């Protein structure tokens, strides 16, 4: 009986070693592919919020970390800087709408440094299907209503949902969600407008300050 137990133990140990080895090999083989696909998806998203014709640098390689309440919380957010002939022209920046109907809504906002919104995308949310999820491009083109909008300042009454006297449509039965997104995009764009003279001092992504 002891011999049987020993044999089973050895077999299990060998199985564990082989399984671990195979997993490690698969991970090593697929890791570059996964990283490449992730980078492609990220670039696709960046291209949707900052037009490629306005910059000539590798925007993904110009990643910085910013922290400000204007971005919805005190967590670090990534900012991707667009340059034309080495001059900063715009940024794609992560932001959070903290007051969605079902919690935080994560956004990516593209804007220049003069209050112009190039584009916005929702990257994560938990809003109600059939109501608040119209902030997603695959559900509705509502999110494209930010494209090309200019914000004159924090008191710009046009940059609000129609129920609040602004220009943006709300959803039937779901005003809270679009209001949260509109307000977040407004705050984020105005924040970007304050950054141009601070860009040189921002910590880079992957640094010790992130």
> For 9-19, what is each residue's pLDDT tens digit?
556 656 556 66
| pLDDT over threshold 80, residue 209 | no
pLDDT value at position 42? Answer: 85
Q: What share of the chain is helix, strand, coil (3-state, %, to 5)?
A: 45, 25, 30
Residue-wise pLDDT tens digits, 172-197: 989 999 999 999 999 999 999 999 99
What gap in Å lies between CA 197 and CA 205, rounded to an integer?
19
Q: What is the pTM of this model?
A: 0.81
Identify whether 193 is part of a domain: yes
Residue 33 within a domain: no
- At residue 156, the pLDDT reads 96
- Two structure tokens written together for 90: 């715009």
Q: Domain range holding 66?
A: 52-201
Residue 27 covered by a domain: no
pLDDT interval class at 166 (50, 70, 90):
very high
| Within a domain: 100 | yes
What tokens appear for 162 in the block? 């129609």
Number of domains in the chain: 1
Would residue 179 count as lying in a domain? yes
């Amino acid at each position: 009986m002891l011999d049987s137990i020993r044999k089973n133990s050895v077999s299990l140990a060998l199985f564990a070693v082989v399984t671990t080895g195979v997993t490690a090999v698969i991970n090593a083989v697929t890791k570059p592919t996964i990283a490449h696909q992730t980078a492609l998806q990220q670039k696709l998203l960046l291209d949707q919020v900052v037009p490629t014709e306005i910059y000539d640098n590798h925007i993904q390689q110009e990643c910085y970390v910013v922290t400000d309440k204007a971005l919805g919380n005190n967590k670090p957010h990534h900012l991707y800087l667009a340059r034309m002939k080495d001059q900063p022209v715009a940024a794609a920046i992560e932001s959070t709408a903290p007051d969605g109907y079902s919690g935080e809504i994560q956004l990516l906002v593209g804007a220049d440094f003069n209050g112009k919104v190039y584009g916005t995308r929702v990257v994560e949310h938990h809003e109600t299907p059939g109501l608040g999820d119209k902030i997603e491009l695959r559900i509705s083109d509502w999110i494209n209503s930010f494209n090309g909008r200019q914000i004159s300042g924090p008191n710009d009454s046009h940059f609000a949902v129609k129920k609040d006297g602004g220009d943006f449509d709300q959803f039937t039965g779901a005003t809270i969600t679009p209001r949260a997104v509109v307000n977040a995009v407004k705050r984020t764009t105005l924040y970007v407008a304050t950054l141009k003279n601070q860009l040189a001092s921002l910590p880079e992504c992957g640094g010790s300050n992130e």
